[in-house]
Amino acid sequence: MTPRERAWRSLTDALAQACPRTLLLKNADSALHGTGDLDLLLPKEDMGGFVRAARDWCLGNGGQSVVCHHVPDGPHVVIVLPEETHALVLDVKWRRSLFGATLITAESAAGLSVPSELGPGQLRSGAESMVKACLYGIDRGPGLNRRRLGEQNVADGLRADPDGAALAARAMHPPTALLTALRRAVERDTTAIGVATATKAVLGTIALSEPGTAWHRGVYKALRRQRCPVMRVVRYDRRRIPQDREAWLTASRLAHGSTDD
């Protein structure tokens, strides 16, 4: 086991004990066995305890941390350990959305979880793939993004756990019939322009009922993502810590109104 994997396991165990409702959303392997971040769902009321537990673990393991609230729906907790070249990044949200519309919340995902090799539970395979079918398959293009769906093995995940996919289609916020059609299109490996167009139209309608979030996302994309030193590392540098880490940590804390570790 690598030092990074040991750190992730220790951290997630601590988080699961402090916040038992923490749920791994997707792609945990990319964090555990690579340099990816960890995507998590958690009810709003548990966010404060989660951040405190993460920062306590960080201090107890000789690290430094920054908490970024620039992205809507929950913080990015970035942990910098002394011997690591890449940060441990916790992307924790109370909901996951697409085009400003809610896809799934921590509460609606609770019945879709199974035990994981890390501390928190995780979405079962079919449910995770149903979420990824939306997040990776639907973009600004005219049909499904087959390349990204293939990279994420979404069709295989849907086929491997059809019951989980069906449960997720009922639990997620877009209409079940629409998600079922999307699932079938992904499994059949078609571009499905009609399904993709309909999905985007429905998401747009949902987003109109959640205008505050759509506005917040627009501001984030227009202003904060490029200027925030944390988001530059998380989004553009693939979590690689800058060579002058102390200067970066200082700039990151100043950008977020914090001067502590």
Which structural domains are found in the chain, ordered by start? 1-93+228-261 (3.30.460), 98-114+124-222 (no CATH)
List beta partners, residue 113. Answer: 123
Token duo for residue 114: 């199974």
pTM over 0.85: yes
R_g of the chain computed on alpha carbons: 18
Question: Look-up: residue for tokens 């940590």?
Answer: 249
* % of the chain exceeding 70 in pLDDT: 92
User: What is the percent of the chain where pLDDT is above 90?
Assistant: 78
Q: Which amino acid is at 2?
A: T
The whole-chain average pLDDT of the chain stands at 91
* Tokens found for residue 107: 């509460």
Task: Please write the tens of the pLDDT for every residue from 54-91.
Answer: 999 999 999 999 999 988 899 999 999 999 999 999 99
Q: Amino acid identity, residue 189?
A: D
- Which residues, other chains included, contact 81 with Cβ-Cβ below 8 Å and sequence gap of 6+? 7, 58, 61, 62, 63, 88
Nearest CA to 25 out of 107, 111, 100, 121 is that of: 121
Q: Which amino acid makes up residue 164?
A: G
Q: Is the torsion defined by CA of 69, 99, 189, 127 positive or negative?
A: positive
Kind plus residue range of the DSSP H or E element containing 122: strand 121-123
CA 258 – CA 190 distance, rounded (Å): 49
Distance, CA of 234 to CA of 237 (rounded, Å): 6
- 217 pLDDT tier (thresholds 50, 70, 90): low
* 158-196: b (≥16 Cβ within 10 Å) or e: beebeebbbbbbebbbbeeebbebbbebbbeeeebeebb
pLDDT digits (tens, 9 = 90+) for 161-216: 999 999 999 999 999 999 999 999 999 977 789 999 999 999 888 887 776 666 55
Residue 84: what residue type?
E
